[in-house]
Amino acid sequence: MCGIVGYVGYRPVAELLLEGLHRLEYRGYDSAGIAVQYGNTIEVRKKAGRVSELAGLLKAQPLVGKIGIGHTRWATHGATTDQNSHPHVGGNGEVVIVHNGVIENYDILRRQLQTLGYVFRSQTDTEVVAHLLAHNLEEQTRLHGSPEDLDVCLKAVEVTLNLLKGTYGLGILFRDLPDTVIAARCGSPLVIGVGKDEYFLASDASPLVGYTKEVVYLSDNEVAVLRADALRIDHRSNGSVNVSVKTLEQVASDTDLGQYEHYMLKEIYEQPTTIENALRGRLDNEEATAVIGGLNLSAKDLRRIDRIVLTACGTSWHSGLVGEYVLEEFARMPTEVEYASELRYRNPPMSDRTLVFAITQSGETADTLAAMRECKRKGHPTLAICNVVGSTIAREADGGIYLHAGPEIGVASTKAFTSQVTVLTLLALYLGRMRHMSYPAGKRIIRQLRDMPEKISKALECHDKVREVADKYHHFNNFLYLGRLYNFPVALEGALKLKEISYIHAEGYPAAEMKHGPIALVDQQTPSVFVIPRGGIYPKVVSNMEEIRARRGPVIAIACEGDTDIARIADDVIYVPDVEEYLQPLVCAIPLQLLAYHVALLRGCNVDRPRNLAKSVTVE
């Protein structure tokens, strides 16, 4: 969730940290703050609200220095107040920290520290870590020397981390160690940017773009020491770590808004390109199959697999549902989709012939990572479908497939969903051709996949109509989203998008399930959005639509271009290109994304920073 930045080097640090927090604001925007060290003085500025509030405070109360840490918060413990904002100060100011994660035993530690005389000024779990560090620094200084000694400070860090239960990404400043930032990771991502006579620290790579092309990804249980002239990394159990420097592929234009008013709209319009990127180099016309490198499983290993489990959260879970349909249809592989938050605590019967795929945009989703680790622990091959190179899930999986969608900044996922669906379709083609799918069938699927970027561009032409529909319905407070087969997951995803950014209650259902209970919700104030492109059970969905109309419920239809019949039933129709049923989720997602976007704008909501949400859910 929360965003961390840090720097040590030769640049004025306050402006650099503030820019980094602006880039990380999609990870949390309840409050923000920075701490800057100058000699043996550490000064803190922090403010509830968006990073712009902090910027205003810094104009009035500037900070000078070339070493510092910063934080933008997504609240877990304590309300969104100035006092609960990070950074937090430990002891009498000898330690200042920023933290991403959740300390599960913070209450016990807090009570212990209170008996020792420590006074708490916030309700956060993070202040517990700050005071605990200060206490252990005092103890180590008494036993081993001076607080100006790096080894003494590192011993205090080690003792503190050994007492913590939960997850953390930490940035630490010691008052008497004026040239050093210390970072520690367990379950919450941290990346180090490598420069000339400078080092950067961040929760993800976005703040580093434009400053460096070389990065180091911290792994769990690693502690890093950042000084302007050196980087040192130690594993808490295994000692010194050889620093592995990676190349950062991201460029500044990836995170620029360009001509668009919001990141969400920009990312919706990037989908012809991102789908093309997902397909690039992965279609083998000669063999009528997909080319999927990186699975790290031989054809023999894959033929041995008799079951697939897809595990994910949120939007990625919806893409997994589409994947279930297409994998079972193309590859004839029994496939199940599990909420990662549930799978990590269950013990389902899974044989050694079960292949597990973790689906995630960020590669850092806490529940998905934990579920993948649990499956890996039990000996199942675990692969990832992921967007972020160098992320924890990408590094820990046995293999996988990258989306190549570029950074997704908008909190409500759009282009990642369609890229995930595209990659799952490629996987189904690959496994299908390996098993029983005919050569002509494979060729036909390849031709249709090659057409998809153009089809998505065509689908975006519905924008004006969607805006008109949004204007008509934005004042309603309840929506139903309905679809069948491949379009049931699309209905779920459409409802989620509306909930996320417009705060309207919306539910997705298989259209035929309406009569089994949810139809009781239908009235003149509850619009129903039907995802109803042409297909094998089109007449059945039309009948479901008629049931809604008979009860005077407003009906919005997402239908294939040229379908004039549907206009006689629906109050409003949004047309998309006519494609094969298994590709309909790609084109039908577009108007639903745009509908959520425009309804949110009309209701005065912040589409890129919806309340209570953050982009990457790195805490349980």
Mean pLDDT taken over the chain: 92
Residue 619 is assigned to a structural domain of this protein? no
**Does 2 qualify as catalytic in the annotation?**
yes
* 612 inside domain: no
From the candidates 2, 462, 560, 605, give the one annotated as an active-site residue.
2
- Amino acid making up residue 610: P
Nearby residues of 22 by Cβ (< 8 Å), 6 or more positions away? 51
Give dist(CA 110, CA 125) in Å, integer. 8
Our count of domains for the chain comes to 3
Residues 178 and 248 in one domain: yes
**185 vs 126, 148, 217, 288, 536, CA distance in Å?**
14, 23, 10, 45, 51
Is there a single domain that holds both residue 235 and residue 274? Answer: no
* Domain match, 184 and 245 both: yes
Note whether 497 and 562 are same-domain residues: yes
CATH code (residue 275): 3.40.50.10490
- Of 200, 223, 254, the one marking the end of a domain is 254
Per-residue model confidence (pLDDT) at position 177:
94
616 is a domain residue: no
Whether residues 245 and 262 fall in one domain: no
The 10 Å CB-count burial string (b at 16+, else e) for 54-76 is bbebbeeeebebbbbbbbbbbbb
Q: Which residues of the chain have pLDDT under 50?
A: none
My answer on whether 488 and 543 are in the same domain is: yes
Q: Assess whether 241 and 362 both reside in one domain.
A: no
User: Are 310 and 249 in the same domain?
Assistant: no
Q: Note if 588 is an active site residue.
A: no
Q: Which helix (H) or strand (E) holds 417?
A: helix 415-435
Catalytic residue among 47, 415, 458, 615: 615
Per-residue pLDDT at 253: 59
- Residue 277's pLDDT is 94
Torsion over CA: 411, 387, 348, 517 (sign): positive
- The answer to whether residue 620 is domain-embedded is no
Structural domain ending residue among the three candidates 254, 286, 321 = 254
Q: Which domain holds residue 323?
A: 258-450
With 0.75 as the threshold, say if the pTM is over it.
yes
In-domain check, residue 617: no
The CATH number for 66's domain is 3.60.20.10
Question: Do 242 and 287 reside in the same domain of the chain?
Answer: no
**Which of residues 430, 450, 470 is at a domain's end?**
450
Tell me, yes or no, whether 618 lies in a domain: no
- Residues 279, 422: one domain? yes
Q: How many Cα atoms within 13 Å fall on the side-chain side of residue 478?
A: 10
SS3 143: helix
Looking up tokens 């040590």, which residue turns up? 8
List the end-to-end C-alpha distance of the chain, in Å, as a whole number.
10
- pLDDT at site 254: 67
